[in-house]
Amino acid sequence: MKQPVGAAQTIVVPVASPGQEAVVLNVTATNRRRPPTWTVWPDGTAQPAVSNLNVAAGQTIANRVMVKVPANGKVDIYNAAGSVNVIADLNGSFTDGSAPASGSQFQGILPLRIVDSRSGHGSSAAPLVLAPSRAFTLAGANGIPTPATAVVANVTVANTTGASYLTAWPDGDPRPNASDLNWVAGKTVPNLLWSSWGRTASSTCSTQRARLTSSSTSSGIR
C-alpha cells in the first residue's frame, strides 16, 4: 500500500509466520495532516478501545508495541483522524510453543540505568552527533549477565538541537534501514528498545555490545 492511511481507515498487515503467537513492532507515524491516533490489534477480533500511538500535527513519532497475532498472522492498524503515512518495523516474535524454537527466554530485572551520555555513565560524556555511531557494552556490565543475548531497554534522547532520528542495532552488523526514535528540536523523547548485540573480540577479552547512531544532529542519550 503506497499511500497515506485516511481518517477512520484500517489497514491489515501480515506480520507473522506459523508458530508465532505475538510480535514486537515499532510503529511510526509521519507526514501527518491532522493529529492522528492509532490502534494496533489482532486481525479478525474486535477493535479495542485503546490507542497505541498519539501524534500531534507536525510530528514524526514512533512507539514499540507487542501484539498477539491470530492464525492468519495479521494485525490491524486503525487511524482515527487525519491522513498519515504508516511505517511498521518488525523487531521480533514470541512462539506459541507448538514447535522447537531457537530464540531465548525473557527474564525481567529491576530497572537500572546502563548508559547516560550526559554524565559519562556507560559511555563517553558527550552527545551523539551527525553520522558517527557509538558502541555501548551491555552484557557483563551494570548487572546484565554475560550469557544474555538481548536487552529490553527504555531509550531516551534529551538536549536535542534539531530534528533527527536514532537507530540501535547489534555491534558488527550492518545498520538497518529503520529508526527507533524520532524527534524535533528541544524535545525529550523515549521509546522502548528491543535489541540483540554483536560479539566484538580483542586479544584479551570478548565484549558484547550494541551500537547507536543519530542521523543528523546532536543529542544526548540516557
Band (pLDDT 50/70/90 cuts) for residue 221 is low
Residue for cell digits 546502563? 114
- Which range (27-36, 46-55, 118-127, 205-214) has the least confidence? 205-214
User: What's the pLDDT score for residue 210?
Assistant: 58
Beta strands in 43-105 (DSSP E): 53-54, 61-68, 74-79, 85-95
pLDDT given at position 171: 84
Residue 195: the pLDDT is 81
Same domain, 84 and 25: yes
Evaluate whether residue 198 is within a structural domain. yes
Number of structural domains found in the chain: 2
- CATH number of the domain where residue 31 is located: 2.60.120
Which of 49, 69, 95 corresponds to the end of one domain? 95
Domain region containing 44: 9-95
Q: Answer with the one of 32, 66, 95 that is the final residue of a domain.
A: 95
User: How far is CA 98 from each of CA 11, 18, 21, 94, 222, rounded to the nearest angstrom?
Assistant: 29, 9, 10, 11, 39
Distance separating alpha carbons of residues 112 and 72, to the nearest angstrom: 38
Confirm whether 54 is domain-assigned: yes
Residues ≥6 apart with Cβ < 8 Å to 120: none
Claim to verify: residue 156 and residue 216 sit in the same structural domain: yes
Together in a domain, 142 and 81: no
Average pLDDT over the chain, rounded to an integer: 81
Residue 192 in any domain: the answer is yes
Confidence of residue 219 (pLDDT cuts 50, 70, 90): low
Does residue 214 register a pLDDT over 60? no
Type and span of the H or E element at 26:
strand 20-30
* Interval 109-120 mean pLDDT: 83
Q: Give the model confidence (pLDDT) of 5-51 as tens digits.
A: 988 999 999 998 888 899 999 999 887 667 778 899 999 999 998 89
Domain membership of residue 121 (yes or no) is no
Last residue of a domain, one of 75, 95, 115: 95
Question: Is it the case that residue 218 has pLDDT exceeding 80?
Answer: no
The length of the chain, given as a count of residues: 222
Q: Is 76 helix (H, G, I), strand (E, B) or coil?
A: strand
Pick the more confident residue, 10 or 164: 10
In the block, cell 507487542 appears at 66
